[in-house]
Amino acid sequence: MIDLNLATPHDFLHQIASAAKKKRLSLNFTQSSLSEKSGVSLGVIKKFERTGKISIESLLKLALVLDSLKEFVNLFKAQSIESQTMDQLLNQKTRKRGRK
């Protein structure tokens, strides 16, 4: 398990690729069968499992076939009201765009 405080984006790429490979194998898919089912090329899958590098679109296609798409729903979800302090709730403004 990687300590989240010390992990780099590179570490996460490899961790995600490793988890995807384990899920693929647990579903008894070969790289070729995953390629056919997902529409992601075999070369992209091989590179992903080796390096962790993949486009977001291809990653989502693989996640769909590997029954892991729901994990992406909460990726950039705003902080829940229950976990916010009263000061945060009273001073909260909805941003329409970034400043910089």
Q: Which residues contact 27 (CB under 8 A, 6 or more apart)?
A: 66, 67
Cα–Cα dist 34/28, whole Å: 10
User: Where do the domains of the chain lie, and which CATH numbers do they carry?
Assistant: 1-68 (1.10.260.40)
Residue positions counted in the chain: 100
Q: In 10 A of CB 15, how many CB atoms?
A: 14
Per-residue pLDDT tens, the chain, 100 aa: give them: 555 566 899 999 999 999 999 999 999 999 999 999 999 999 999 999 999 999 999 999 999 999 999 988 888 876 665 666 666 656 666 666 766 6
Cα–Cα dist 74/27, whole Å: 24
* pTM over 0.85, yes/no: no
